[in-house]
Amino acid sequence: MCSISLYFEISFFKILNRKFVSMKKALLLSILIIPFTIFGQFLKQSELSIIENGSLIKNPLTGGLNSCQLSNIDLNSDGKKDIFVFERVGDRVLCFLNNNDGVGTDFDYSQDYSKDFPELNKWALLVDFNSDGKEDIFTYNDSYVKVYRNTSQGENLSFQIETQALISDLGPIVSAIIISEVDIPSFVDVDGDQDIDVLTFKQSGGYVEYHQNQSQELYGNCESLVFELKTDCWGEFFEGLNTYDFNSCNEDAIVEQGETRSSGAHSGSSSLAIDMDGDNDMDFILGDVSFNNLNLLINGGDSQNASMVSVNQDFPIGNGSDISAEINSFPAAFYLDLNNDDIKDLVVSPNIDNNSENFESIMVFLNTAQDDNPTFEFSQKDFLQDNTLDFGSGAYPIVIDYNNDGLKDLLIGNYGYFNNSNLISQLALLRNIGSLSEPNFEVFDRDFGGLSTIALDTILNETVKGIFPALADLDNDDDVDMIVGDNNGKLHYFKNNANAGQDAVFELENVNFFNIDIGQHSAPFLFDMNDDNLFDLIIGQVDGTITYAENMGTIDNPVFNTLTEDFGGISVNNDESLYGFSTPFVFEEDNEINFLIGSESGRVYHYKSVNKDLSMNFELISDNFQSIGKGKNTAILFDDFTNDGKRDLFLGMQSGGLFYFVNDSINTSLDKYSNDFLVKIYPNPSNKQLTIDTDKESQISIYSSIGQLILKKKIQGRSTIDISFLSPSYYLIHIQQNGVSEWRKIIKK
């Protein structure tokens, strides 16, 4: 058995001043039947203040960071090296601005620059190939290398296509350079002539190809990308399964070894070529899909004729560090300046979609020497991750008011946290500590109700993998119950056994609810589809379709014994995959039932019914709703969090984080709770002072997070409040005007 404290008070919904067919539907569906405008371009990505363990999370809404590729770039032309992050999980671009005036690793996540980058896939590295001081993009393009030239002017970031594929003279033929989607090649000046060459593993096995850039040789500059294959056994070594053969390259040996030592296509390796010992030639740092450590190969030759002579399989131990760069799955190394000292540092992150550590998967080794003879000192395992909100792998948000304060809190299900390769699924609670109009949150419990310890799968006798929660009052007792879907395709029922007026107590009532088993990825949603005042089941599936289970029971006793597959002809499978991973959110708008559905591709699909006829196929309105698609395996929460009668949107994704989109449309059919307070508080968060604007005489009282009164005064008009003496945390302001009051939250940075 498991218990969860939760209470939905019906009075919270009464402030919406709505008439519903029953109090039961008011409890859950009040937010679903308010007239909203949803069809224009109105959703704007926004930020929220989120606190965990008493501290403000610096960059909370990044969507999560799991498998990252990092490069330097000056995004805003301020002369500082910012950070470009390509998140392999979902092919996302994230930008972090350098916030350091001196040496330091302080970076601010920015939403403003990602949109300026083109669509990128599998891997993306920034390299200035033409020596104009602006980093260009090298990225995967269907086994080829696509290059974008940086054409930015001042603060206006822009890129244009340079080539769809890098071409190399292979001797008998001229062909595109082939690079696997799982490899990370090296784009580096191998021969010391200032133009960018290419090192990449052969597709047939563990040899490295060296494609020399002929720009200097032909034109005397770095402007061109013209290549010639100099050798298909650069470094004179063969990489096996975490083993190496040196001096193994001659024409006969390549053929022989390629046949005997390689079995099919190359499985995948990451590579970073840098000069580790200051002898003006490239040494080679390798990661591989088959091992969890970085290997350093030392070049005993020269810049023209590389020859690897030794390997350090505990790198960077022996090069200054006292620990190795160990990643639980497929490490990849990147070389960039992280602490604003004009010296490149070493970053290590997984090069795989499902990495084994969600919170400690970006390792940093700071360089205490120089670029071409580095000494690496371990710094941290969670670079950038320590300042973001992350729920492991997968984030599936739903709304709840667990503590009956009238504010909408968040429950976040997930696929699971990876801990030493063990997947642990949990349900997180984020408590809303803001106001009716300004939501902000505190991470209250990352294992809400202890679901991680409950053996929901009785057949396998193990904890469930993947938690998709849904809430509704299923037994007509004036409180909400919970259904949890799991990755095995089953549903589990938690009944709320609390007494009236008390915090809810969820107890596991039924494992494998009604023996529903859709195979994989059961993502449930509860909604009255046929206006019979009973909550029906809408279940997202791994293939991208929807399964519908009509409630054939009573208001006191639900019965779901008939499943309708491929409901409404809905599908979010974009034909680029065998899967779709549909996660539905259902609401009513303009007397039609609407579906917003997250998908494996990251896009959000919008379907609506036709005359509410459930026997007909639903109409596809958009396969890219509001163009908000980000990441992979998205999940939707579409709700009014600012109490303005317009729905805002939380977007969860496989990389374990959230995005928040505020609705800034003009709503002409607004029927909302009237707020008489014309009070503005800014800036918020702040580190020195607050400005408060009010049109009426107001009594304000500032309290700490534990209820201690800090300041009390009367104000009117514009007032400035000094908060520099306060410790960094969140605080509450109580505003009183003419016998009524409101609470607001402020953040002291």
| pLDDT per position as a tens digit, 690-705 | 888 888 888 888 887 6
| pLDDT per position as a tens digit, 405-445 | 888 999 999 998 876 667 788 999 999 999 998 999 999 99
Eight-class DSSP state of 173: -
For the residues 210-227, what does the mean pLDDT come to?
96
Eight-class DSSP state of 618: P
Contact 337, 345 (CB under 8 A): yes
How many of the other CB atoms lie within 10 Å of CB of 327?
A: 28
Where does the pLDDT of residue 539 fall: very low under 50, low under 70, confident under 90, or very high at 90 and above?
Answer: very high
88 token code pair: 């392999």
Question: Which of 93, 125, 227 lies closest to 170, judged by CA?
Answer: 227
Residue, of 193 and 450, whose pLDDT is higher: 193
Contact 660, 652 (CB under 8 A): no
* Maximum mean pLDDT: which of 92-106, 667-681, 702-716: 92-106
Round the average pLDDT of the chain to a whole number and report it: 86
Question: Which of 62, 30, 37 lies closest to 408, judged by CA?
Answer: 30
- Tell me how many degrees the CA angle 612-617-618 measures, rounded to the nearest 5: 60
Where does the pLDDT of residue 685 fall: very low under 50, low under 70, confident under 90, or very high at 90 and above?
Answer: confident
Peptide bond before residue 685 is cis, with ω within 30 degrees of 0: yes
Cα atoms in the 13 Å half-sphere on the side-chain side of 615 = 0
356 token code pair: 């084994």
Q: How far apart are CA 208 and CA 273, in angstroms?
A: 12
Where does the pLDDT of residue 480 fall: very low under 50, low under 70, confident under 90, or very high at 90 and above?
Answer: confident
Residue matched to tokens 């919904």 = 13
| pLDDT per position as a tens digit, 564-622 | 999 999 999 976 667 899 999 999 988 899 999 999 999 999 999 999 999 999 999 99
170 CB-near residues (< 8 Å, 6+ apart): 229
Contact 148, 162 (CB under 8 A): yes
